[in-house]
Every structure is written in C-alpha cells, then in structure tokens.
C-alpha cells in the first residue's frame, strides 16, 4: 500500500511540474551572492504589504520581497491597486499543494501582466516555495509570468510523509530524491527548513517566490479544503473580493 501511495505521489508531482513548470529548469541559473533572505521575518515599519480579502472565507495578508523579485511585486501591486483581481476566483485548488488564482477569465489560461506581455523569472537562493509562499504561475517557459499566482498550502506533514515513504520503500534520503528526480540540490539547512515549514521543494527555482503569508494561514487551510471537481476547480467559486495594498505596521500580529 505504501509503495503504491509513493508511486501515485511521485507520478502526480511529476505531472504537476510538467504542467506548470516544464520538465527542466527555466530562466537564469546563476546563483545570487549575499545572505539568504529570512522569508518568515517580520517586515519593517512602512513596508508595503497586501490584504487579500476572500468572500466568505476571510483575509490573507502577505508581505512582499521587492528587492529579490521587483518585477513580480510591481506587477501584483499595480494590478491590485487598479482592481484587476477584484471578483477574480481561485480557479485551481489542490489540498496539501496550493491554491491558484489571478486569471480574470477564470479558466487558468487567461490574464496578462501590467506590461501586456510575459516577464522574466526572478529566482533567489534565499526564497523558497515554503508553505504560505506567494509565487508566480507560468507555462514552464522563461519569461511567461503574467497575472496568475499561487499560494503554497503543503505543510510539514507532506514533507514528513514523503521522507518516510522514500526511506522505507527506496532507501533514499529527501535530498537525494530531490537531486535525482528534479535536478534540485538542497543544502542540509534548506532540507531542515522544509521539514519545519513544509512546502513544495520541487518547484524551487521553477517559479518566482515574491511574497509570504503574514496572517491568514487558517484562511489558506479553509480555501484549500473546499470541494473540487476532477479538474481541481472549486465546486463553489472562491472569489477574491478585493486586494488592499497597505503600509505595514508592527501593531499587526503574525500567525505562523
């Protein structure tokens, strides 16, 4: 049973990566210099952040990584201020993986950037698709970021279960699996971070990470838990009422 579950998991993840990110790395592969970003640190007073207000569910607040992903942040913030995301649904929801939105057509094939064309990937060694990460969706080819985004839902249990199955069935360590299956090398520190926070490490350096949840993990869980059809589309629409762009104050609390 465990082996069957493992094979189904690996097949599903391979299919997802091929659909979203292609079967090879996209964009530039150069490594950045300098210290890694503390993805879960509290923003500074006055930093820009967003409140994603979801009808019947509540609000998810996210911080931005403007220094590491300036294009993605500018695109999202400008769209939000212009009301581009108002009334747009999360058209694709996969529990223990992610929730995806940002397409005004609601089909998963629409949407455009503020520049009217795709823009380049912005990969950073210091930013990972941990649980709660705000990431750009793309077609798997370089320069295909438009308006669609997703928020990672996979938690630490997903990583723990994967490690257990890899060890028991294949005698593989998590880092070995990532390098063999996805050509992704993770340091010991990065592996430990995924164990602590959860996430989708197979998408590392495939999708731009440009934000991280500050508050609203319970809302993320609620949205990720909705009933969906065979195409992972919510049976009842999950609609973004508005996205507010605000200045951060240390008076708001974080809920990790």
* 26 band by pLDDT with thresholds 50, 70 and 90: very low
The angle subtended at Cα 234 by Cα 241 and Cα 74, nearest 5°, is 45
Domain boundaries 2-23+43-247, CATH class: mainly beta
- Whether residue 54 contacts residue 216, with contact meaning beta carbons closer than 8 Å, is answered with no
Between CA 87 and CA 98 the distance in angstroms is 20
CA 78 to chain centre: 19
Residue 206 vs residues 15, 24, 209: alpha-carbon distances, Å: 14, 8, 9
* 33 band by pLDDT with thresholds 50, 70 and 90: very low
Between CA 89 and CA 66 the distance in angstroms is 25
Average pLDDT of the segment spanning 154-174 = 93
Average pLDDT over the chain reads 87
Residue 201, CA atoms < 13 Å, CB-side half-sphere: 28
Task: Report the chain's C-alpha Rg in angstroms.
Answer: 17
Phi, psi (deg, nearest 5) at residue 253? -95, 160
pLDDT for res 252? 54
pLDDT tens profile 34-62: 335 689 999 999 999 999 999 999 999 99
pLDDT at 22 over 70: no
Residue 6 vs residues 93, 158, 162, 183, 247: alpha-carbon distances, Å: 21, 12, 8, 19, 44
pLDDT tens profile 77-126: 999 999 999 999 999 999 999 999 999 999 999 999 999 999 999 999 99
Beta strands 149-152 and 98-101, pairing class: antiparallel
Q: Any residues with CB less than 8 A from the CB of 172 and at least 6 apart, and which? A: 166, 180
pTM score, whole prediction: 0.87
Beta strands 240-247 and 98-101, pairing class: unpaired
Q: How many CB atoms lie within 10 A of CB 216?
A: 22
């Amino acid at each position: 049973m465990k082996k069957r579950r493992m094979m189904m998991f690996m097949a599903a993840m391979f299919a997802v990566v091929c659909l979203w990110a292609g079967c090879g790395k996209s964009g530039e592969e150069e490594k950045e210099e300098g210290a890694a970003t503390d993805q879960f640190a509290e923003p500074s007073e006055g930093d820009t952040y967003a409140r994603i207000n979801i009808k019947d569910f509540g609000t998810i607040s996210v911080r931005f990584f403007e220094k590491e992903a300036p294009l993605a942040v500018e695109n999202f913030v400008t769209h939000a201020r212009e009301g581009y995301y108002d009334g747009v649904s999360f058209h694709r929801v996969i529990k223990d993986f992610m929730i995806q939105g940002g397409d005004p057509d609601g089909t998963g094939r629409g949407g455009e950037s503020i520049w009217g064309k795709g823009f380049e990937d912005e990969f950073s060694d210091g930013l990972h698709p941990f649980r709660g990460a705000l990431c750009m969706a793309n077609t798997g080819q370089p320069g295909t970021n438009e308006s669609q985004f997703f928020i990672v839902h996979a938690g630490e249990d997903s990583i723990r279960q994967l490690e257990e199955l890899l060890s028991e069935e294949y005698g593989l360590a998590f880092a070995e699996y990532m390098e063999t299956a996805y050509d992704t090398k993770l340091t010991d520190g990065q592996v430990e971070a995924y164990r602590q926070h959860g996430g989708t490490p197979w998408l590392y350096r495939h999708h731009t990470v440009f934000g991280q949840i500050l508050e609203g993990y319970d809302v993320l869980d609620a949205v990720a838990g909705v009933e969906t059809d065979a195409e992972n589309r919510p049976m009842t629409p999950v609609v973004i009422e508005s996205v507010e762009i605000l200045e951060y104050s240390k008076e708001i609390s974080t809920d990790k």
